[in-house]
Amino acid sequence: MNILEIIEKKRDKKELTKEEITYFVEGYTSDKIADYQAAALIMAIYLNGMTKQETTDLTIAMANSGEKLDLSTLNEIIVDKHSTGGVGDKVSLILLPLVASLDIPVAKMSGRGLGFTGGTVDKLESIPGYVTGIDMHNFIKNVEKIGISMISQTLNLAPADKKIYSLRDSISCVESIPLIASSIMSKKIASGAEKIVLDVTCGAGAFMHSKEQAEALAKEMIEIGKLANKETICVLTNMDEPLGYAVGNSLEVIEAVNFLKGDMPEDLKEVVLALGAYMIKLAGKGDNIEENKEKMLENIENGKGYEKFLQLVENQGGDISYIKNTSQFPKASYIEDVYSDTAGYIKNMNAKEVGKIVCNLGAGRIRKEDSIDNSVGIILNKKVSEKVEKNEVLATIYANSQETLNEAKEKIKEIIEIQKEAVPKPKMILEVMD
């Protein structure tokens, strides 16, 4: 067997065998297969797709590419959560401390930004001192000690996914059902949780643009979950416009902190509560979804969710003075408002385009080794359906160069569509599948 034959087979739309998929995954993980060869195969998969069997084989091979975490010492049902990616998606930063504050242990391995979407790890690392790279022993010890740990993919769990994930990001091969399903499920299988809640985003700012595509991705992940004996629930959520108001790493951390202190943007609140309610259910701590949402709201009101976030940051070396006083986060050098030229209602705000502006400001990677700028981003002042007056602020741009500031100001005005007639509020929770 050799990699050229495998690339050729997929290029010619033929089905790969389990042995061929495993050969590729093992070879690429151990650097025996070069980046350019892996890139060719991934592009062929992106263009020609995979059968269900191939996707399952790819998932298992990636899950087996490194160590597997044993969470059984925690003696509790561990429920994991993962999102298929979005813009302004700071859900994990809010939801996981909130769930942990209800005495449900959280052991979470998150990803970095991918394509035009942000990543939880990049957001956490914008908190000075916060260490995302923790070894397995300390990861479990953290969960035992404070009930939560949130780390990056530094443990040797699904290392094949880590390599393929950043390769896909740098060759524009992200939006693919088999590649997303295998990426997410391989990590979930390797990271030891028994049950999984997946936020399958859908819309302009998601990798799945239509509900049908999102359903197909959800179905694939649920099936893989069944094969791996992991109960999986998918919540399909709307990602047409950015979630909440802030897009950009430290700006999103600040929005998450404010949320935990009770300042909750409506759309973000709906998504956090829905996902959390299913996590609580899977953890065996409450079957009633509405009651579960109330439990979370209670822990926002009494400050327990916020306290848990502080504990998480402190325990992972972060400087909690930034959380207690978020005005300490380093500020971008240029902060300027963008004003509306007309009055009306916000009709549309394409989240992917907003994500691309924020990447261009410096918050995203073009090459996989690029470093990112945590202080840049956009704070929206309006959401879809809201009324806007002429000369009212539409958004505030945070930039670190005059050039990127000017580009962003121009682009955001093109992206925010305004119409005279009223616009209904978008529905956030589109479907729940299990």
Which residues of this chain interact with ligand URA, rule CB under 6 A?
84-85, 111, 114, 165, 179-180, 183-184
- 183 is known as an active-site residue: yes
* Residue 254 vs 351, nearer CB to ligand URA: 351
Encode 121-141: b = buried (16+ Cβ within 10 Å), e = exposed. bbbbbbbbebebebebeebbe
* Residue 162 vs 269, nearer CB to ligand URA: 162
Judged by DSSP in three states, 250 sits in helix
Q: How far is the CB of 174 from ligand URA (least distance, A)?
A: 6
Catalytic residue among 81, 82, 230, 295: 82
* Residue 183 vs 404, nearer CB to ligand URA: 183
Give 15's DSSP letter: P
Q: How far is the CB of 302 from ligand URA (least distance, A)?
A: 33
Judged by DSSP in three states, 128 sits in coil
Residue (of 292, 357, 362, 360) closest to 332 by Cα position: 362
* Residue 65 vs 84, nearer CB to ligand URA: 84
Q: How far is the CB of 41 from ligand URA (least distance, A)?
A: 16
* Residue 178 vs 265, nearer CB to ligand URA: 178
Query: How buried is residue 410: exposed, middle or buried, by Cβ count under 10 Å (0-12/13-18/19+)?
Result: exposed
Q: How far is the CB of 336 from ligand URA (least distance, A)?
A: 32
- 161 is known as an active-site residue: yes
- 13 is known as an active-site residue: no
Catalytic residue among 187, 293, 295, 352: 187
- Which residues are CB-contacts of 207 (< 8 A; sequence separation ≥ 6)? 84, 85, 115, 117, 174, 175, 180, 201
Q: How far is the CB of 119 from ligand URA (least distance, A)?
A: 8
Catalytic residue among 101, 183, 250, 340: 183
Residue (of 214, 217, 149, 209) closest to 179 by Cα position: 217
Distance CA 359, CA 362 (A): 5
Q: Note the Cα 403 to chain centre separation in Å.
A: 29
Name the residue type at position 371: S
- Sheet with strand 416-419: strands edge to edge: 387-388, 344-349, 416-419
* Residue 167 vs 405, nearer CB to ligand URA: 167
Catalytic residue among 81, 163, 168, 230: 168
Q: Note the Cα 112 to chain centre separation in Å.
A: 8
Give strand pairing partners of 83. 199
Q: How far is the CB of 198 from ligand URA (least distance, A)?
A: 10
Give 99's DSSP letter: H
* Residue 252 vs 375, nearer CB to ligand URA: 252
Return the structure tokens found at 280.
Answer: 């609580």
Number of H helices, E strands in the chain: 17, 13
Catalytic residue among 57, 80, 161, 199: 161
Name the residue type at position 384: V
Give strand pairing partners of 195. 79, 231
Q: How far is the CB of 261 from ligand URA (least distance, A)?
A: 28
Closest residue (Cβ) to ligand URA? 183
Judged by DSSP in three states, 349 sits in strand
- Sheet with strand 231-238: strands edge to edge: 79-83, 195-202, 231-238, 429-433
Residue (of 407, 375, 429) closest to 128 by Cα position: 375
Query: How buried is residue 144: exposed, middle or buried, by Cβ count under 10 Å (0-12/13-18/19+)?
Result: middle
* Residue 84 vs 238, nearer CB to ligand URA: 84
Q: How far is the CB of 206 from ligand URA (least distance, A)?
A: 10
Q: Which residues are catalytic?
A: 82, 161, 168, 183, 187
